[in-house]
Structures are given as structure tokens and as C-alpha cells.
Structure 1
């Protein structure tokens, strides 16, 4: 289920069956022009990944709005903010929280997050509409879905 009115209405009717959150972590950084295009592409691909995971696991998960942060900023305040989000989510109660990111810097803070980090190696560039890219995404989504199911 996605964060929209229609899906949240369905969630409220069936929330006892929906116990998992997917929260995409997306860096935003305009000050370094050399990486703007690469970061925008990674954001686009992560959004596709998250949506595909949500489609595969519909009825069991909620895909939250993405969490945007400044890429080179100190992660400790971000960890605190994310954990505040998680505390709120667990009020519903959600039992499984998964953060998904291409940013390897989150690995250093994984132990401090009140959820599980799924780190994926990022894509530098490409055409998200190409057959090859779609195949890579589908294959990785299958693996991520199996990983998430292993927590259930």
C-alpha cells in the first residue's frame, strides 16, 4: 500500500494484516553540481525499486513517503529523526521497518536505526526504461522481496 488516500483507507480496514513498512532514504544535494545528475538518477531508480517491492508485497506492507536528507550532512541527527518516524509508526503497530537506500554511508549508522537497513549498490546512470535496466531491477526486487519475507 502506498501513501495515498485510497490505499490508506484500505489500510485502516485491514491494518491487523499489514505489519511492515518500507521507507526509502534518498539523498538530496544540489551544491555539488558534479553529482546532481547521478543523485537524481539514483533517486529515480530507488523510487522504482520501492514501488516494485510494494507491488510484490501488496496487502502486507505500507510504502511510506521517501525520507530526503542532505547527502554530506551528519547522519546522527538524521538517525534521530528517522527513529522518531519509526516510533510513530510502531504506534499502529508495525512490527517490521525496512529502510532502503543506495547510500553506503548509512551502513555506519545501521545499528542505531530502529529498523533494518537494506543497502543496495547504486547505479551510476542509465535508461530506466531500457529492457536491460528493467531486468536488473526485477531481479534485484525478487531478491529484496525474499529478504523481507525471511523476517516474517
Structure 2
């Protein structure tokens, strides 16, 4: 289920079956022009991954809206803010909260997160619509879905 009016109405009526939340976290920084292309690629890839995972696990998972953070900002502040999101999400209650990212820097603070980090290795392709990229994403989505299921 996604963060849409129709899906949220369905969620409220069947939330006893939906015990998992997925938060895509995406870096944002326009002041560093040299990294804008890389940051936008991360957003595209994480969004595709999150949507694919949600489609694979429809009826069991809620896709939370994207969490944006300053890529070169203070990670301790972002960690605090992200944990506040997770605390709010767990009030529903969700038994499992997963955080999806391409940013390896989150691995450094993984033990301080109130949810489970799903870190995906970086992607170098500039074209998310290419057949090769779609195959790579599809293969990794299958692996991530199996990992999520292992928590159930």
C-alpha cells in the first residue's frame, strides 16, 4: 500500500494484516552542484526500488512517503529526526520498520536506528530505464523482498 487516499482507507480497514512499513530515505543537496546528478540518480533508484518492493508485498507493507535529508548535513540531527518518524510510525503499530537507502553513510549509524536498515550498493548507470538497470533492480528487489520476509 502506498501513501494515497484510497490505499490509506484500505489500510485503516485492514491494518491488522499490514505489519511492515518501508521508508525510502533520499539525499538532497542543491548547493553541491558537482553531486546533483548523483543525488538525483539515487532518488530515482530508491523510488523505483521502494515501489517494486511495495508491489511485491502488497497487502502486508505500507510504503511511507520519502524521507529527504541533507546529504552533507549533520547525520546526528538526521538520525534523531528519522528516529522520530519511526517512533510515529510504530504507534500504528507496525512490528517491522525498514529504511531503504543507497547511502552507505547510514551504515555507520545503523545500530542507532529504531528500524532495520536496507542498504543497497550504489548504482553507476545514468539511465534507470535501460534494460540492464531494470534487470539489476529486479534481481535486487527479489533479494530484498526475501530479506524482509525473513523478519516475518
**Which category of TM-score, normalised to the shorter sequence, fits these structures?**
over 0.9
The list of structure 1 runs, each at least 4 consecutive aligned residues, that deviate by more than 4 angstroms after superposition, is none
Secondary structure (helix, strand or coil) at the match of 1:16 reads coil
SS at match of 1:62: strand
Alignment TM-score, normalising by the size of structure 2: 0.98
Compute the displacement of 1:126 (Å): 2.4
**Unaligned 5+ runs, structure 1:** none
1:80 to partner: Cα distance: 1.0
- For residues 60 and 43 of structure 1, the distance between their equivalents in structure 2, rounded to whole angstroms, comes to 24
Instruction: State whether structure 2 residue 111 is matched by structure 1 residue 149.
Output: no
Say if 1:126 and 1:133, in contact at 8 Å, map to a contact too: no
In the alignment, the residues of structure 2 paired with residue 78 and residue 32 of structure 1 have an alpha-carbon distance, to the nearest angstrom, of 18
Is the 1:2–1:54 contact (alpha carbons within 8 Å) kept by the matching residues of 2?
yes
Task: Specify the SS of the correspondent of 2:94.
Answer: coil
Q: Which runs of 5+ in 2 are unaligned?
A: none
- Identify the residue that residue 124 of structure 2 maps to in structure 1: 124
Aligned-residue offset at 1:125:
3.1
Partner of 2:83: 83
The equivalences for 1:3-42 within 5 A come to 3-42=3-42
Q: Distance in 2 between matches of 1:142 and 1:116?
A: 18
Aligned residues: 152
Please, what is the CA RMSD of the aligned residues?
Answer: 0.8
The TM-score with structure 1 as length reference comes to 0.98
CA contact (8 A) 2:19 2:93 kept: yes
